[in-house]
Amino acid sequence: MTEILAAGFGVGAGLTLEEYALWLRLQDVYWKEEGRASFDAVVVAFTLGGLILVGASPFDLHNNDSSIVGWAAAVVADVLFAAVAILKGKPLLGMIGIFIPLASFVGAVRLASPSSVWARRRYDPGGRKLARAQARWKRNEARRRRVIDAIAGAPETPAAAVDPVPAGHERTADELGSDE
């Protein structure tokens, strides 16, 4: 019976995550750029679920013989690194960092996303760090987009409005639908 309930829960969770962008926008945006939120939600859920499934424990609490002060300091440091990574526009690294502290440390010490809270408050407009962050983010975003397009499919691009009448050609009354 528990296997049947687990399968039902899994199907429900999958359908919920698959329609996340629809719930978020309250319109059908599945094949549009805004529909990427569903893919992002699935990636986050898959990553966190996978870490839990393999039994990732950030501090190996069952075999940890350190003092409560040392353990508390490690937890506080890990949570701070994860918070900084999230503020720097790297939420996936921050969440993975709760389970694997090195990930949040890497996210915390590297350059922030140019549109993140961290960059807006700490990088000077037109400054060297912001320029480096923008250049790095552009490269990373292009790479990330290629991978996501390969996995989830490319979003629709609106068709360009094309005038069927060539330049230099004037429309006649018949072409305009005039009764004259």
Residue 178: predicted pLDDT: 47
CA distances from 166 to 44, 120, 161 (A): 49, 47, 13
Residue 99: predicted pLDDT: 82
Please give the span between the terminal C-alpha atoms of the chain, in angstroms, as a whole number.
78
**41-50-102 Cα angle (round to 5):** 90
Residue 157: predicted pLDDT: 63
Query: Mean pLDDT in runs of 10 for the chain (180 residues)?
Result: 84 73 61 65 76 70 68 85 91 85 90 88 89 89 83 64 52 51
Residue 179: predicted pLDDT: 47
Which 8-state DSSP code applies to residue 34?
G
Q: Are 21 and 38 in contact (CB under 8 A)?
A: yes
